[in-house]
Amino acid sequence: MTGETAAIRAPLRRRTLLAAAAAASIPVRAHAQGAGAWPNGPIRFVVPFAPGGTTDIMARLVGERLQARLGVPVVVENRAGAGATVGSQMVASAPPDGQTIVMSNIASHAISPSVYRGVRYDPVKDFAHIAMVTVNPSVMVANPKFEAQSLAEYIALAKARPGQVNYATSGAGSSNHMIGVRLGLAAGIELVHVPYRGAGPAMTDVIAGVVGVMFDSLPSASSHIRAGSVKALAVSSEERNPAFPDVPTFREQGVDIVSYSWFGISAPAGTPAAIVERLNAETRASIAEPAVAARLDELGGSPRDWSAAEFTAFVAKEYETWAPVVKASGASAQ
């Protein structure tokens, strides 16, 4: 019940509002006015994850640039919960006036809708998908003392001892969990998934040698790879990552897995086309700025200069791709 009521109020951050009021007229019932005046008041940028995570960081990087470009405050609001579906649900039922947008991602719009019962939005139909920000590959890392020090050795080990070889991930139903499921299916091996509450604790146990192998997103694992506390065995991108040219892809090693976690911007379905176009253009311009591009690069992500239509098609394809994998994983809530 609170989801809907919360969704129909615009964010009001008093001090920023005062600044906005000077620039625009005082924003009373922003959605009652036509799209012509957009943006007319602060834009509420919902991040469906807790502050401090990759999604949050991406949103804050881009949000800050959008704020400068649009001339209105872009207020990041964290609404975590239920695999990013709580925040996404809120945006799906917000008025389609361009004043409320969400940092859509692989969890909220591709995997979680198949995992969580009680998700009431359709990740494709209930949103106007605006722009892709960046995609991140995942990486398979191993403790340097683990028996298997390559993907081939890992598969051989799992074949020799079926049902006794583990991998850690940041959680059940995460995109990294799905890579583990796909690896099991593709190589015909039986692996044991050891889920954690987030990537941090999982990485701790891999470094400590409790679990031998982990699938993690490249940005969160990169500092540990560089420091040598874990060894990277494979990346999930189509080609090798420029930051880690020595790490082979899954494909090179004969396993057909290509997987990216991605972060984009979406608005409620029915948002006027003019607003979608403007936001798409400003987002693409923001991520093309050298300073932002450099930061995204450090984070291990590659920006995507896509139109809204391209992004929408991508989301639809992702949702279709992941639903059967989720079923195979048994991670479905019911």
Partner 1 sequence: MDLLNNLAYGFGVAATFQNLGACLIGALLGTAIGVLPGIGPVATISLLLPLTFGMSSTTAIIMLAGIYYGAQYGGSTTSILMNLPGEVSSVITALDGYQMARNGEAGPALAVAALGSFFAGSVATLLVAASGPLLTSVALSFGPADYFSLMFLGLIVSAVLSEGNVVKSIAMMVAGVGLGLVGTDVQTGQQRFTFDIPELSDGIGFAPMAMGMFGVAEIIRNLEMPEVRDALKTKITRLWLTKDQFRRVIGPVLRGTALGSIVGILPGGGASLSSMGAYTLERRISKNKHNFGKGAIEGVAAPESANNAAAQTSFIPLLTLGIPANAVMALMVGALIIQGIQPGPRMIEAQPDLFWGLIASMWIGNLMLVVINLPLIGMWVRLLKVPYDLMYPAILVFCAIGVYSLNNNSFDVFTTVVFGFLGYVFSKIGCPPAPMLIGFVLGPMMEEHLRRAMLLSRGDPMVFIERPISATLLGLALLAVIAMALPSIRKTKDEAMAGG
Partner 2 sequence: MKRRPDAQDLFAGVMFVAFAAFMLWLNTDHPIGSARRMGPGYMPMLAFGILGVLGVAIVIGGLLTGPNLIGRFAWRDMVLILLAMVVFGLTVERLGFIVSIALCVGIASLAEKVWKPLRVVGLIAFLLALCWFLFIWYLDIRIPVFPWSY
Q: Is the peptide bond before 39 cis (omega within 30 degrees of 0)?
A: yes
The amino acid occupying position 13 is R
By the rule CB under 8 A, 200 interacts with partner 1: yes
- Give the nearer residue to partner 2 in terms of CB position, either 91 or 225: 91
Tell me phi and psi for residue 249, to 5 degrees. -85, 165
Give 161's contacts (C-beta < 8 A, 6+ positions apart): none
CA distance 113 to 116: 6
Distance, CA of 6 to CA of 1 (rounded, Å)? 9
- 77 in contact with partner 1 (CB under 8 A): yes
Q: Which is nearer to partner 2, 77 or 216 (CB)?
A: 77
Q: Which of partner 2, partner 1, none is residue 173 near (CB under 5 to 8 Å by kind)?
A: partner 1
Q: Give the integer Cα–Cα distance in Å for 196 and 220.
A: 15
Q: Using CB distances below 5 to 8 A depending on partner kind, what does residue 161 bind out of partner 1, partner 2, none?
A: none
Closer of 9 and 226 to partner 2 (Cβ):
9
Whole-angstrom Cα distance, residue 38 to residue 20? 13
Closest CA to 130 of 55, 37, 45, 67: 45
| Residue 321 in contact with partner 1, rule: CB under 8 A | no
Binding partner of 188, given partner 1, partner 2, none, CB within 5-8 angstroms per partner class: none
Residue 136's nearest CA partner among 21, 45, 311, 258 is 258
Asked if residue 211 binds partner 1 (CB under 8 A), the reply is yes
Helix (H), strand (E) at residue 267: strand 260-268
d(CA 239, CA 147): 26
Q: Is 165 in the site for partner 1 (CB under 8 A)?
A: no
Query: Which of partner 1, partner 2, none is residue 28 near (CB under 5 to 8 Å by kind)?
Result: partner 2
Q: How far is the CB of 269 from partner 2 (least distance, A)?
A: 21
69 binds partner 1 (CB under 8 A): no
Smaller CB separation from partner 1, 107 or 124: 107
| C-beta of 25 vs 164, nearer to partner 1 | 164
Q: Residue 42 has what DSSP assignment?
A: P
Give which of 240, 232, 251 is closest to 139, Cα–Cα: 232
CB atoms within 10 A of CB 153: 14
Residue closer to partner 1 (CB basis): 164 or 321:
164
- Of 115 and 255, the one with the shorter C-beta distance to partner 1 is 115
The item of partner 1, partner 2, none sharing an interface with residue 145, based on CB under 5 to 8 Å by kind, is none
Residues in the site for partner 1, rule: CB under 8 A? 2-3, 5-6, 50-53, 56-57, 60-61, 64, 76-83, 85-86, 89, 115-118, 164, 166, 171-173, 192, 194-198, 200-201, 203-205, 207-208, 210-211, 222-224, 226-227, 229, 295, 298-299, 330-334
